[in-house]
Amino acid sequence: MDLMGRFFKDDTSSKDMAVERLRLVLVHDRAGVTPGLMEALKEDLIQVISKYMDIDEEAMEVNLNSGEFSAALIASIPVKRIRR
Amino acid sequence: MPGKVIVITSGKGGVGKTTTCANIGAGLANHGYKTVLIDADIGLRNLDVVMGLENRIVFDLVNVVEKTCKIRQALIKDKRFENLYLLPAAQTKEKDAVKPEQMVELCNELRKEYDYILIDCPAGIEQGFKNAVAGAEQAIVVTTPDVSAVRDADRIIGLLQAREIAEPRLIINRLRPEMVRKGDMMDINDVNDILAISLLGIVPDDETIITSTNRGEPAVLDSSSRAGEAFRNIVARIKGEDVPFMSFDFDLGFMDKLKRFIKK
């Protein structure tokens, strides 16, 4: 089928690209999330978590990911050691 | 029964708000409803030329809210449609010449005497938008099937819902069935899925809209116009009738059928 698709030169139609791009941009629009807000969130997360754990701030990642019509905050925070 | 105040809005400019407003208004008036169209785009007056009433303006919206004239004096009666009136925008004032409270008061006055009050909202989300939606209880969002218009429509829908305007309804304007068929334009389902509000109508891209606007005559009464037919259906739905959506299916050629088959 892939081969047939290529045969007809329409791997991705322009309207599929429109739908895909719109879905992505609307996740951020609807959530009202700016890069500045994400940065502020990251700073606050570091402060809170540092009370309990020693984390690798450099390797930390916080992203807003999109499902079809929902958003999820995915954070990857490497822990160096637990504070006791 | 008090009249209904419906704002026609879009966020993005140039998607057909004013044309939509003129056609729905003329359609409602043609069904015998006393209808007022308010051009809320202060400084960029347009509904008057689209309606062909530009030569008859004496007073405007700002005169009315400042009470330098009576509402009745500012309303222009359309000679072609028994029940249709236009309240034009001021052309030489700023958007902040009108306050939301004044619009609420004006709409409440008009409700007493008219069946439908349609407000043509300016593009954008600033003061002009706030004024236009202030007195409205219903909203129609107009979009075209392209990424920028749909994105702005989504933003507007969010703002309308925050203002407790129940159930904004969507009109998809300037649909080009030929491009949809080729996969080069988002179709009704794509736009509808993304915006997730109820669909009021689909208006095909139609040259008769340009020619009728040139003449200053709404296309809604032109029986040969596809867009006119779409607007007649929209008017019927606003009245509460259940009208099926127009079909835009073309007779597909052999290669297109084969392509569709393979895609599935």
- Closest residue of chain A to B156, computed from CA coordinates: A30
Measured between beta carbons, the chain B residues lying within 8 angstroms of A13 are 182-184
Percent residues over pLDDT 70 in chain B: 94
Higher pLDDT, B246 or B244: B244
Q: What is the pLDDT of residue A2?
A: 47
**pTM given for the model:** 0.81
Phi, psi of B163 (to 5 degrees): -90, 10
Question: Does the beta-carbon distance from B190 to A14 stay under 8 Å?
Answer: no
Mean pLDDT (chain B, rounded): 93
| A15·B186 Cβ contact <8 A | yes
- Does A18 lie at the interface with B, CB-CB under 8 angstroms? yes
Sign of CA dihedral A28, A34, A35, A39: negative
Quote the distance between the C-alpha of residue B16 and its chain's center.
Answer: 7
d(CA A42, nearest CA chain B) in Å: 26
Q: Determine the pLDDT at residue A11.
A: 65
A1 neighbourhood in chain B, CB within 8 Å = 262
Q: What is the pLDDT of residue B242?
A: 95
Question: Which residue's structure tokens are 């200053």?
Answer: B216
Residue A6 sits at the chain B interface (C-beta within 8 Å): no
Q: Which residues contact B141 (CB under 8 A, 6 or more apart)?
A: B9, B10, B153, B156, B157, B160, B168, B169, B170, B171, B195, B197
- Whether the pLDDT of residue B103 is over 60: the answer is yes
How far apart CA B206 and CA B176 sit, in angstroms, is: 9
Q: Which tens digit of pLDDT belongs to each residue from B16-45?
A: 999 999 999 999 999 999 999 999 999 999
User: For residue B110, is pLDDT > 50?
Assistant: yes
What is the band of B225 on the pLDDT scale with cuts at 50, 70, 90?
Answer: very high
| pLDDT tens-digit series, residues B205-221 | 999 999 999 999 999 99
pLDDT number for residue B256: 58
Give mean pLDDT in consecutive 10-residue pieces for chain A, a chain of 84 residues: 50 88 85 79 91 90 70 86 82
Considering only CB atoms, which residues of chain B are within 8 Å of chain A? 146-147, 150-151, 154-155, 158, 180, 182-187, 190, 194, 196, 259, 262-263
Using the Cα atoms of residue B105, residue B109, residue B112 and residue B116 in order, give the sign of their dihedral: negative
What pLDDT score does B258 carry? 61
Count of C-beta atoms within a 10 Å radius of residue B207: 10
- Indicate the length of chain B as a whole number: 264
| Residue B253 reports pLDDT greater than 90 | no
- Using the Cβ of A10 and the Cβ atoms of chain B, whether some distance falls under 8 Å is answered with yes
Does the pLDDT at position B238 exceed 50? yes
Q: What percent of chain B has pLDDT over 90?
A: 87
Token pair listed for B41: 């785009």
pLDDT tens-place string over residues B121-178: 999 999 999 999 999 999 999 999 999 999 999 999 999 998 888 789 999 999 999 9
Q: What pLDDT score was predicted for residue A5?
A: 47
Nearest CA in chain A to B148: A22
Predicted complex ipTM exceeds 0.90: no
Handedness of CA B107, B112, B118, B120 (dihedral sign): negative
pLDDT reported for residue B246? 85
Residue B198 has pLDDT above 80, yes or no: yes
